[in-house]
Amino acid sequence: MLCDAVAVFPEAVEDALPGWGDEHQRWTSLAMPGNVAADGGWWLHFHSYLVTSAAGAVLVDTGIGPAGGEAAEWLGTAGRLPGLLETAGVRADEIDTVVLTHIHTDHTGWNLAEELPRFCNATYVVQQAELEHVRDVAKYERLIKPLADAGQLRAVDGETTLDGGLRLLPTPGHTPGHQCVVTERAVLGGDVLVHPAQARWPELTYVYEQDPAVAVTSRHDVLALAAATGVPIAAAHPHTALTGAAMPLPAVSPGSGVCPPHKL
How high is the pLDDT of residue 104? 96
Average pLDDT value for residue range 31-39: 90
What is the rounded CA–CA span in Å between residue 46 and residue 71? Answer: 11
Under the banding of pLDDT at 50, 70 and 90, the label for residue 245 is very low
Average pLDDT value for residue range 258-264: 44
Is 63 part of a structural domain of the chain?
yes
- Give tens-digit pLDDT for 52-91: 999 999 999 999 999 999 999 989 999 999 999 999 999 9
Is 120 part of a structural domain of the chain?
yes
Whether the predicted pLDDT of 233 surpasses 90: yes
**Range from 32-36, 41-45, 126-130 that averages highest in pLDDT:** 126-130
Is 252 part of a structural domain of the chain?
no
Q: Could you tell me how far CA 85 lies from the centroid of its own chain?
A: 16
What is the rounded CA–CA span in Å between residue 4 and residue 123? Answer: 21
Answer yes or no: are the C-beta atoms of 17 and 45 closer than 8 Å.
no
Is 240 part of a structural domain of the chain?
no
What is the rounded CA–CA span in Å between residue 133 and residue 130? Answer: 5
Is 119 part of a structural domain of the chain?
yes
Q: Name the residue range of residue 192's domain.
A: 2-235
Whether the predicted pLDDT of 36 surpasses 70: yes
What's the number of domains the chain is made of? 1
Give percent helix, percent strand, percent coil of the chain, each to the nearest 5: 30, 20, 50
Average pLDDT value for residue range 38-62: 94
Is 264 part of a structural domain of the chain?
no
Is 124 part of a structural domain of the chain?
yes
For residue 110, the domain's CATH number is 3.60.15.10
Q: What are phi and psi of 167, to 5 degrees?
A: -110, 130
Is 94 part of a structural domain of the chain?
yes
Whether the predicted pLDDT of 190 surpasses 80: yes
